Chains A and B, each alone.
Chain A
Amino acid sequence: MQSFSGKDKTNEAVVETVLLENYDRYYRLAYSYVKNEADAADIVQNGAYKAIRGSVSLRNAEYAGTWIYRIMLNEIFRFCKKKGPQVVSLDEIPVEQGKEDIYEDIDLKEALDSLNAEDKAVIQLRFFEDKPLNEIAEILGENLSTVKSRLYRGLRKLRIQLAVEEL
């Protein structure tokens, strides 16, 4: 009994620490899908609640970081399924003044948003969060080769769509 409750406390504390150190990362990821601050914050809160509540079942505290990402991503995917595809009107896309290459960013951003949810997650975790592919595979609960093919397909689509825009 003693040792069990001891383990739960430690896991809970580890999970809490990871949450408090990384909430902006989860929030960004959520925001990149839902495009709405309140919804993104809700997702992070729900994920955090589940992570703390489930910390008892986490067998190895070392995986807390990966595991929490997985919970958050599942929350995001679930939210997206419920809401259906997000439609962002052109007026809502902030158009910054100035340099030309900003336009390229917007094209790229639109291309990224047009990817399916999992492919987009792979691209973002790889390039924005610098996560190694094997960790991304664990976060998504998929095997490495699936993640690799998502990455290549994602990159290909980004390039192809950009090429079409450039015509």
Chain B
Amino acid sequence: MSKKGIEGLKREYEEVRMSESQVNALKKTIERAKQDNRNKNRIRLWRMTGTAVAAALLVFIILPNTSANVAYAMAELPFIGNVVKVVTFRDYSYESEQQIAEIDVPKLDVSETDGEYGIATAEAPATLALKDTTDELNAEIEELTEQIIREFEEFVQKESGVKEVMISHETLVTPEPYFTLRLVHYEAAADGAEYVYYYTIDMSTGERVKLADLFNENADYIGIISAEIIRQMRERMATDEKVSYWLDEEMSDWNFKEITDETQFYINENNNIVISFNEGDVAPMYMGVVTFEIPAEILAEIRK
């Protein structure tokens, strides 16, 4: 190989340049990544400041609900005499030319009925536990939503940009004895982002359902479910080029390794466990909220 040959090749190599439109697209992508960085940071901030916020909330809670217009709506789920009603705790809306908030804060309400069963359930252990559980969940939901409202109000006061915040909720169709509330937080500024939270109660015991509660003691559900999620990620990435998860990235801190006991989940109508990750948790933000239904057979030996 002559020196001249490689010099010529180098010159030819250097002639390749991005077009103006490609450069513009690149700059937009960089801006999007920066925006996603900020969204991610904000989420982390919420998680860390959670306890500090709770103290401030005590004052806050009493204000909106002294009026009697609590709207009884949404689903009712009867089970051994107990009913969890989802009522609107606070309806917050704000609208200006550029900024919109539609925030419907749900509250779980227990009403023990002796209705068709003819048994008083008010003092039953499951009822008492259920009341504790709903109190706990209500506090968590309030903490989360009040923080979002507060950030929105701060934004409105300080900045003039476009912002849209919505919080809605629904009761999922779940197999007995479960009750699951899904809370959806949608936020749009330059980019839209959606976050979903699940709250599940076992109505037969009145206890909140954690992932670990679904499995036999000492079962390696985290390992088994994580391996299945990784398998599904690879399968989806192999079949669709547009699909991408943080799995084999250079910045290994981001890579999905395993779920934790804090990972969001719910039980779907087929009695399968569905793992849900919020935007940016295990995939680029553009992938949105991603879910993985774990087939029953791979959990057959360890599921209660």
The interface of chain A, by Cβ under 8 A from chain B, is 1, 5, 8, 12, 16, 19-20, 23-24, 27-28, 31-32, 37, 41, 44-45, 48-58, 67, 70-71, 74, 82, 101-102, 104-105, 108-109, 112, 124, 127-128, 155, 158-159, 162
Contact = CB atoms under 8 A, between A and B. Distances in A.
Q: Give the interface SS of chain A, mostly helix, strand, loop or mixed.
A: helix
Interface in B1-51: 1-2, 4-6, 8-10, 12-14, 16-19, 22-23, 25-27, 29-30, 32-34, 36-37, 41, 48
CB-CB nearest 4 A-B residue pairs:
A54-B251, A52-B33, A57-B251, A41-B22
A54 B16 contact: no
B253 interface: yes
A101 B16 CA distance: 20
Interface residues of B, number: 37
Interface in B174-229: none
Interface of B: 1-2, 4-6, 8-10, 12-14, 16-19, 22-23, 25-27, 29-30, 32-34, 36-37, 41, 48, 241, 249-254, 284
A56 B298 CA distance: 36
Q: Give the interface SS of chain B, mostly helix, strand, loop or mixed.
A: helix
A64 to B, nearest CB: 12
Contacts of A56: 37, 251, 253
Given A58-B251, A71-B250, A108-B5, A5 B13 contact: no
A12 B37 contact: yes
Candidate in A23, A31, A155, A159 with the most chain B CB atoms within 10 angstroms = A23
A47 B36 CA distance: 15
A52 B10 CA distance: 29
Contacts of A49: 29-30, 32-33, 284
A16 B31 CA distance: 9
Nearest to A26: B18
B250 A67 contact: yes
